[in-house]
């Protein structure tokens, strides 16, 4: 049931920003690997209820976002493949996790990563990508049409990543806008993507509007 609920949640919000978390050190991954004591895990789940939100747990802000397809293994732009067993990926303050005991089960530290954010950062879900600041986790290949050999892939092109994070562009908008900034005209972009010149113009205009709003 949880997978169906998570999928439905994102079906209506392919682009959704949940807010910002303050600067600091965080663990990113499936929280079920970080929070191993049953009573603490129960508190965590009851705090969030439904996923896709920022909530306060023991005085600290935590973000939990559901993947596009529930459990599985998901690639990221930082080289980490995230295993998921609770249908969601969380960004949890390091101190909060470290203070929780391991009464019933040991923490699986190999399943999550520590990241330090020097300034507050956005938490969002954009067309299958879970975004925690400059950390992007791809949970739906079908929506993204990504290619490891593509120089404009969000996993290898920081300019595209920054456009997504700073201006809340979709991957397609950011990639096309970066191509345009790199000197490719709409006709050439359309040829490379096997789409129409009009579609590229419309996409670039939408990107420009978002960027102008800041």
Q: How confident is the model at residue 78 (pLDDT cuts 50, 70, 90)?
A: confident
Asked if 184 and 132 sit in the same domain, the reply is no
Render pLDDT for 81-99 as a digit per residue (tens, 0 to 9). 899 988 899 999 999 998 8
Query: Which residue carries 């609770």 as its tokens?
Result: 86
Question: In total, how many domains does the chain have?
Answer: 2
| Cα four-point dihedral sign 109, 91, 100, 71 | negative
Same domain, yes or no, for 97 and 180? no
CA distance 187 to 33: 48
Q: Which domain, by its residues, includes 85?
A: 1-140
Burial class (CB in 10 A: 0-12, 13-18, 19+), 47: middle
Q: What is the DSSP string of 53-76?
A: EEEEETTEEEEEEE-SSSSEEE-B
Q: b/e map of 139-160 (b: 16 or more CB within 10 Å)? A: bbeebbebeeeeebbbbebeeb
Residues 101 and 163 in one domain: no
One domain, residues 4 and 54: yes
Same domain, 53 and 6: yes
- Are 149 and 134 in the same domain? no
> If you average pLDDT over each of 24-28, 137-141, 154-158, 172-176, which comes out highest?
24-28
What pLDDT does 57 receive?
92
Cα-based distances in Å from 168 to 122, 127, 140, 186, 212: 9, 11, 18, 21, 12
| pLDDT reported for residue 141 | 60
Residue 190's CB is within 10 A of a number of other CB atoms, namely: 19
Report pLDDT digits (tens) over 152-206: 554 446 677 777 767 777 777 888 888 888 888 888 888 877 777 888 888 888 8
Answer whether 13's CB lies under 8 Å from 127's CB. Answer: no
Whether residues 128 and 173 share a domain: the answer is no
| Cβ atoms 133, 76 nearer than 8 A | no
Is residue 149 domain-shared with residue 136, that is, in the same domain? no
Same domain, 78 and 114: yes
* 155/73 same-domain check: no
């Amino acid at each position: 049931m949880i997978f169906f609920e998570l999928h439905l949640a994102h079906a209506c919000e392919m682009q959704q920003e949940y807010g910002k978390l303050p600067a600091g050190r965080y663990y990113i991954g499936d929280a079920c690997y970080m929070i191993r004591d049953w009573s603490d895990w129960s508190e965590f789940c009851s705090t969030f209820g439904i996923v896709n939100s920022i909530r306060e747990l023991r005085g600290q802000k935590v973000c939990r976002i559901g993947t596009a397809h529930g459990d599985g293994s998901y690639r990221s732009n930082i080289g980490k493949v995230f295993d998921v067993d609770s249908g969601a990926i969380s960004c949890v303050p390091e101190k909060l996790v470290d203070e929780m005991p391991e009464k019933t089960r040991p923490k699986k530290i190999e399943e999550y990563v520590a990241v330090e954010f020097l300034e507050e950062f956005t938490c969002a879900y954009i067309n299958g990508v879970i975004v925690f600041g400059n950390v992007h986790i791809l949970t739906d290949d079908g929506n993204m049409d990504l290619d490891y050999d593509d120089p404009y892939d969000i996993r290898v092109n920081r300019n595209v990543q920054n456009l997504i994070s700073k201006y809340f562009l979709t991957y397609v908008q950011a990639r096309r806008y970066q191509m345009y900034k790199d000197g490719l005209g709409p006709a050439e972009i359309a040829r490379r993507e096997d789409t129409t010149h009009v579609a590229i113009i419309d996409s670039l205009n939408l990107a420009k509007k978002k960027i102008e709003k800041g």
